[in-house]
Amino acid sequence: MSLPQIIALLRERVGLDVASVGAGLIERAVKARVSANNLRNISQYADLLQRSEPELQSLVEAVVIPETFFFRYPESFAALRQIVGERFLFGTKKLRALSIPCSTGEEPFSIAMTFLDAGLSLEKFQIDGVDISAHLLDIARLGIFRSNSFRGSELKFRNQYFRKTDAGFRLCDGVRQCVKFEQGNVLEERFRFGSEAYDFIFCRNLLIYFDNEAQGQALKSFRQILTADGLLFVGSAEAGLLSQHGFSNVKMPMAFAFRKSESVAFQTLPKLKQPKVRSPSRAGRTEAYRKPDLALSEKTVETAQREKRLVPDLAFAEQLADKGQLGEAAEICEVSLREQGPSARAFYLLGLIRDCTGDQHHASEFYRKALYLEPDHYNVLIQQALLKAKSGDSAAAKALRNRALRVLEQTQ
């Protein structure tokens, strides 16, 4: 079996889209695993892959490096806490949540702490953490975390729920017992964890590594195991995909939360929405439990639209884009550029708008201009890397992802 056949195996077994990571990265990972297993060549390693599920998992982990920490995307957890407080706090229903892939546990434990801070008692919820990697699940079950799992300045939760030890920060037993970990693959034909549907599913930054077929298969599974009024949380780069697969945005800014649509038009590409995301190096970290801003009221939007002169208010443009009013948002960005001069913020929003409408060429141009003005804009780097990967330029995609990782390291 050759390297292309190994790539085909990864696509078949775990849905990996080679463009998302680049063929070069896969080749280097394969060579590293050949050496780690004391084998002579790729052909021998391919034979090992055919009969060893743990080795396939090791290769996947070498190709798709998990990036996780507590309360990543804090607005999602703020939205979760708000929804629990409004809909579930005083009911008798036992909430169920799923984190997939759960990696080393930071995400499902963040969900547990959010439920507890919202006022739920331990017996009123159950959280399942699923991952394809047995090794990562072992780390999650241990419940001991290093400093890299705690980022930003809002770390009150660490003092509340963790105890410092020589090995690291140990999570309290009460929170650890809230999460049940299990090995699983969402692309398995009969994927399902447990017998009941979930009120909340967190699947963030997994779909971007899947090819189109695997994305559709995963989202079909999520529709089947999500309650009628349940919510699916995804990563910022995946938000545009959901409306094409039977989900609608709940319009909570930067929460990237979706519910199942009643009627689905799979043949029609809908208007996609992208919320604003700021560069962590410039904007700083948002408070983990900050209540999300409410979406603009219809009256406010209509009032702004009636004004003959558009005000170059980029914050307002971002909120309009959040509501799906992409044309109006783009107009405000253009006015801002004319009246206030070049702005990474304006170029980034224009790039997102073009991205949402499928105009990848102009989206890339706007992202390039944003990076010229602000080279360490994390979210622009990620969006541009995704576009480069889709166009087949794996070398450029890799370079952009490496720059983004360096930006994250500098903000820790």
Report which secondary-structure segment, H or E, holds 384. helix 378-390
Distance CA 273, CA 276 (A): 10
What does the DSSP 8-state code read for residue 392? T
CA angle 70, 209, 213 (to 5 degrees): 130
Q: What token pair was written down for 249? A: 């945005």
Q: What token pair was written down for 131? A: 């991952």
Asked whether residue 186 carries a pLDDT value surpassing 90, the answer given is: no
In this structure, CATH architecture of domain 280-284+292-411: Alpha Horseshoe (1.25)
Specify the higher pLDDT residue, 376 or 273. Answer: 376
Mean pLDDT across the stretch 53-71? 82
Distance CA 300, CA 316 (A): 10
pLDDT at residue 281, rounded to an integer: 42
Q: What token pair was written down for 306? A: 């009636």
Distance CA 255, CA 275 (A): 9
Asked whether residue 4 carries a pLDDT value surpassing 50, the answer given is: yes
DSSP secondary structure, 317-375, as one string:
HHHHHHTT-HHHHHHHHHHHHHHH---HHHHHHHHHHHHHTT-HHHHHHHHHHHHHH-T
What does the DSSP 8-state code read for residue 210? B
Q: Determine contact, residues 29/10, Cβ cutoff 8 Å.
A: no
Q: Determine contact, residues 183/129, Cβ cutoff 8 Å.
A: no
Q: Determine contact, residues 231/83, Cβ cutoff 8 Å.
A: yes
SS3 at position 9: helix
Q: Which amino acid is at 346?
A: A
Distance CA 178, CA 25 (A): 37
Output phi, psi for 299, to 5 deg.
Answer: -65, -40
Distance CA 308, CA 302 (A): 12
DSSP secondary structure, 137-159, as one string:
HHHHHHTEE-GGG--SS--HHHH
Task: Work out whether strand 247-249 and strand 168-171 pair parallel, antiparallel, or are unpaired.
Answer: unpaired
C-alpha 152, offset from chain centre? 18
Query: Which residues are registered as beta bridge partners of 98?
Result: 128, 201
Distance CA 14, CA 24 (A): 18
pLDDT at residue 270, rounded to an integer: 37
pTM (global) more than 0.75: no
Question: Percentage of the chain with pLDDT > 70?
Answer: 83
Asked whether residue 283 carries a pLDDT value surpassing 80, the answer given is: no
CA angle 244, 250, 252 (to 5 degrees): 125
Average pLDDT, the chain: 80
Given the structure tokens 């559709």, which residue do they identify? 216
Asked whether residue 56 carries a pLDDT value surpassing 90, the answer given is: no
Q: 35 Cβ partners below 8 Å, 6+ apart? A: none
* Weakest-pLDDT range from 309-318, 330-339, 343-352: 309-318
Q: Which pLDDT tens digit goes with each residue over 104-134?
A: 999 999 999 999 999 998 889 999 999 988 8
Angle of helix 326-340 relative to helix 314-322, nearest 10 degrees, comes to 170
Asked whether residue 303 carries a pLDDT value surpassing 90, the answer given is: no
pLDDT at residue 97, rounded to an integer: 96
At 172, the pLDDT band (50, 70, 90 cuts) reads very high
CATH fit for domain 74-260, picks 3.20.20.80, 3.40.50.2300, 3.40.640.10, 3.40.50.150: 3.40.50.150
